[in-house]
Amino acid sequence: MNIKTITGISIIVIFLVVGFFSFSESKIEYSNFEKASENHRTCQVKGTWVKDKDAKFDANTNEFIFYMKDENNSEVKVILAGARPNNFEMAESVVAKGKMKDGNFHAKEVLTKCPSKYEGKGEDVKKSGI
């Protein structure tokens, strides 16, 4: 084999290895707080915001802190690196992406699911005869 063939094969192998690791890093599984504390990997936890507890933005550390219950009813303090997500107060459910550390969930991103303005109310449907 000549040098061009070896160089070409080497470049292809390098791209395949980099692509594999990039894909495995971007694949984030859904979990709950218990599993997240066991595996120490980045995961997504779906749950609800505990509105009875304090939710605040700390300007000194640039963190939004709130409490969340996962689908197993486990309650954990969530520390989001960044500002409060849009429509947080109206959220029906919350998905936090991050890792468990020192008993708290450190989120890189928090997504909110708000009630849809396009969904009709049950009474409206009954009145219309549908």
pLDDT band, very low/low/confident/very high, at 123 (cuts 50, 70, 90): low
Q: Mean pLDDT over residues 51-60, rounded?
A: 90
pLDDT band at 48 (very low <50, low <70, confident <90, very high): very high
At a CB cut-off of 8 Å and minimum separation 6, what does 56 contact?
A: 64, 65, 66
Distance (Å, whole) CA 94 – CA 88: 8
* Calpha distance 63→61 (Å, rounded): 5
Single out the residue of 78, 11, 16 nearest to residue 44, CA to CA: 78
**Predicted pLDDT at 121:** 55
pLDDT at 91 over 70: yes
| Buried b or exposed e, range 57-79, using 16+ CB within 10 angstroms | eeeeeebbbbbbbbeeeeebbbb
pLDDT value for 110: 93
In the chain, pLDDT over 90 holds for what percent of residues? 38
Quote the mean pLDDT of the chain: 83
Contact between residue 114 and residue 92 where contact means Cβ atoms under 8 Å apart: yes
Tell me what pLDDT residue 119 has: 57
